[in-house]
Structure 1
Amino acid sequence: MTALPDWMRPPREEGWLAEDLDHLPEAPRHTELIDGALVFRMSPQRSWHGRLVTALTTALMAQAPAGIEVEREMTIRLDERNRPEPDLLVTSVPFDPDRTWYSSDEVMLVIEVVSPESAHRDRTVKLRKYAEAGIPHYWCIEDEEGSPVVHVYELDEPTGAYAPAGIFRDALRRPVPFEISLDLEKLTPPRRG
């Protein structure tokens, strides 16, 4: 067994902090911070995942009203010990080319496309953490035999938890956080037999 590189050792007993991510140039791309621990995307990204995220980014950008930005693979500082990196986020903060993260109060919608290695985090850990941070809308997208299925959640402010707002196949129409209409079948190429 080889020794861990020095950069992987937490700088303090309680683990990593959100600001530490900006000072880890050796860390692999897509490194997240969950409960003070670094989480690396270790498995290769599937083509279906990448194409879906690209098509969804393009579709949402085309429908977003002026003043609304769609960002891909940017971290969100939920608190001092949590800085996950969703596949997409929607914000009303103007574009800043030097930005490396958003605060949770700047984010209107978070979208996670579930992959085998992220399934537990996307379905349970991030679902809870995004709600606790007060992010109003969360979409968790699953691969159902090659077609995207969108599980939509809205923040129930009195409880501080997400309430299911629908499961969408084929088409998605939502009035929040802005008017969105998506033909889900057109977001991914059909599988070849």
Structure 2
Amino acid sequence: MTIALRLLAIFAFWLATALPAQAAVTITFWSHELGNSFPHAFFTLRGVPDAGGEPVDASYGFTAKSISPAILLGPVAGKVEGVTPAYMASSTAQFSVELPDARYVDILTLISRWSASGEDGRYRLNAHNCVHFVREAARLAGLAEVDRPKLMKRPRSYLQAIGAANAARVTIIDKPGRDHLPTLAALAPASPHGPAR
């Protein structure tokens, strides 16, 4: 086990045993129209964990390490990567959901697993692509009806279907990033005394 995975496991245990119930990190699911830029589905994590610590403001998507015809022939090396603000601005924020810290830790574990060089780090166009990555994040976020086999290569349609199926649990956004991003409040710096109780 790598040092990073050990530290993540220790952090996960700490969060799971020392958390209040209110969520403070929000996961937002995004789609990007198909084209030459990747990933076409990704998510952002934004907020401050209830357990305290530094503010979180990051994006994660899964794609092939190298875009070539090889992705049509079988598994290739994959990677989890962030997207640029310009890419986010040209994407669509579909919906968001607040995460209790335990679910936030589950999402961090997912990111770590798919970043690894093992089987979860392999990109397969038909079975392990960016939509599969956001599906697993949606499942870990507690959303229902996330298995949509016919939509696994249609990022926008997939996320719209998941948002509609979970309308009572999520906040539907359905806005271009250039319109949504300016509405986000600034993140407060971490408190030196931990979370308020």
Question: Same fold per TM (> 0.5)?
Answer: no
Q: Which has the higher strand share?
A: 1
What is the TM-score with the length of structure 2 in the denominator?
0.27
Q: Which has the higher helix share?
A: 2
Higher relative contact order (CA 8 A, sep 6+): 2
What is the TM-score with the length of structure 1 in the denominator?
0.28
